[in-house]
């Protein structure tokens, strides 16, 4: 699926990576008890913000896996899929390697 959305300036479009439904002890976690994941895959990136007439590029690229704050960004729905739009300064860390689902084997 291709998302036809281009973030502006230093904004980033992120798809949250889902967590496992079963705890290590084997207990199934219901949807109502789950917290929204703070890890996601970068889908699209803006061109960067303009400071003193110069454009400063964003430090993340499409496909990167990132960590972000629990209450940051704006949730949006596109074609029945939930995404998050963040500003670059709301990204806490970039994880090395390409995005993959949490809990999957290397």
Give the per-residue pLDDT at 32: 59
Residues ≥6 apart with Cβ < 8 Å to 40:
14, 15, 16, 17, 65, 66, 68, 84, 99
Write down the pLDDT at residue 87. 92
Q: What is the mean pLDDT of the chain?
A: 80
Contacts of 68 (CB under 8 A, 6+ apart): 14, 38, 39, 40, 84, 86, 90, 91, 92
Question: How many whole angstroms separate alpha carbon 11 and alpha carbon 36?
Answer: 20
Classify residue 3: in a domain, yes or no.
Answer: no
Structural domain of residue 21, as residue ranges? Answer: 11-98
Is 28 inside a domain boundary? yes
In a domain, 103, yes or no: no
- 72 inside domain: yes
pLDDT, tens digit, 9 for 90 and up, residues 45-82: 999 998 899 999 998 998 999 999 888 889 999 888 88
Residue 4 lies in a domain: no
Q: Which residue has the tokens 């074609």?
A: 79
Q: How many domains does the chain have?
A: 1
- CATH code, domain carrying 43: 2.30.33.40
């Amino acid at each position: 699926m291709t998302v036809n959305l281009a973030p502006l300036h230093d904004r980033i479009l992120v798809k949250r990576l889902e967590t496992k439904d079963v705890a290590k002890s084997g207990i199934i976690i219901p949807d109502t008890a789950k917290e929204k994941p703070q890890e996601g895959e970068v889908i699209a990136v803006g061109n960067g913000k303009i400071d003193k007439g110069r454009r400063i590029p964003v430090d993340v690229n499409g496909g990167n896996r990132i960590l972000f704050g629990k209450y940051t960004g704006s949730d949006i729905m596109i074609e029945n899929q939930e995404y998050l739009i963040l500003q670059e300064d709301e990204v806490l860390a970039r994880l090395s390697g390409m995005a993959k689902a949490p809990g999957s084997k290397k």
